[in-house]
Amino acid sequence: MLKRKHLTGIAELERREIESILESAESMKEILHRDIKKVPTLRGKTIVNLFFEPSTRTRTSFEIAGKRLSADVINFSASGSSLSKGETLKDTVKNIEAMVVDAIVVRHSSEGVPHYMTTFCKASVINAGDGKHEHPTQALLDAFTIKEKKGKVEGLNVAIVGDIAHSRVARSNILALKKLKANPIVVGPPTMMPLYTDALGVERAGSVDEVLDDADVIMMLRIQKERMKSPLFPSLREYSRFFGLNAEKLKKAKPDVIVMHPGPVNWGVELSPDVMEFERNVILDQVTNGVAVRMAILYLLLST
């Protein structure tokens, strides 16, 4: 079990907690491939998905994860709720909690919302992405996928490419990779580089070409236009030339390199469509592993 009630970020996790989640996710993945993909572990527990931002993978995989463990899972949609009548976030959360629920999985555009909820929620709060702050369950499923495909995480060179400054996936991955003793390297235009990577001693590179020789893992990111006030690069064509990946560039990479992306992918921008056919593109494996890792997290936080 995790000795904590909430999961709001990788920053708060110790290495042994990350390792426990990854170990537990291995058992959960085996359940996903059974004929009857359901165990009674969380029977009687209620999980609410409270998403204030769009999601395909995270919301659906939390729902499937809860159902595989026999929990009741309710999806709250901000559009169509009483938020449109002026109800506050706090009132919304307190009213949902008053229906006696065990966990709230929350995604919000504002940094710190999951942490704020822990100050008044009795239910477990799980961060499914808060602004450009953290997306801890994405980093955990990414670490699980790296371990599954490469046999280890420690010592690997992981190039994280793209809009680092606006990406909660980048921050959570950098924190997780550092805790697991891998070497994250950030690659992107200077306008998309945050200051915190320097404070963490993370290496920088100025183009994908610079990291192809050494990278064991290439993690591509989407440009987070929704979090930018104005364009931060001259043209998409120029961005793709320096920070996009295609089959031709991959010929220069290590023979066992894997290509990752948290999704959604903007094909033709950060990834050329020919990378779809690349045999070590593990993007859909990440999605499958997302269910196993979220099952592990729900189990470790909620089972008594």
Q: Which residues sit at the interface with ligand CP, rule CB under 6 A?
A: 55-58, 129, 135, 138, 262-264
Q: How far is the CB of 222 from ligand CP (least distance, A)?
A: 9
Q: Which of residues 56 and 191 has its CB atom nearest to ligand CP in the complex? A: 56
- Please state, in angstroms and rounded to a whole number, the distance separating the CA atoms of residues 68 and 34: 11
Output the furthest CA–CA distance in the chain (Å, rounded).
57
**Any bridge partners for residue 105, and if so which?**
49, 126
Active-site option among 4, 5, 41, 57: 57
Nearer to ligand CP, 20 or 55 (CB): 55
Interhelix angle 283-302/15-32, nearest 10 degrees: 110
- In whole angstroms, the minimum distance from the beta carbon of 141 to ligand CP comes to 9
Q: Provide the minimum distance between the beta carbon of 184 and ligand CP in the complex, in angstroms, as a whole number.
A: 18
Distances (CA, A) of 215 to 135, 154, 184, 188, 258: 23, 13, 9, 15, 9
Q: Which of 8, 58, 145, 197 is the catalytic position? A: 58
Concerning whether 135 is annotated as a catalytic residue, the answer is yes
Q: Which letter, b or e, does each residue of 118-129 get, where b requires 16 or more Cβ atoms within 10 Å of its Cβ?
A: eeebebbbbbbb
Three-state DSSP class for 44? coil
Active-site position among 33, 85, 229, 237: 85
Bridge-based pairing state of the strands 72-77 and 157-161: unpaired
CB of 43 to ligand CP, least distance (A): 26
User: Can 107 be counted among the known catalytic residues?
Assistant: yes
Does residue 115 carry a catalytic annotation? no
- Report the C-alpha gap between 279 and 75 in whole angstroms: 35
Q: Which amino acid is at 59?
A: R
* Smallest separation, CB 280 to ligand CP (Å): 20
- Distance from C-alpha of 126 to C-alpha of 91, rounded to nearest angstrom: 18
CB of 275 to ligand CP, least distance (A): 17
From residue 216, how far is each of 2, 89, 150 by CA, in Å? 30, 42, 8
| Residue pointed to by tokens 């190039």 | 159
Mind telling me the catalytic residues?
57-58, 85, 107, 135
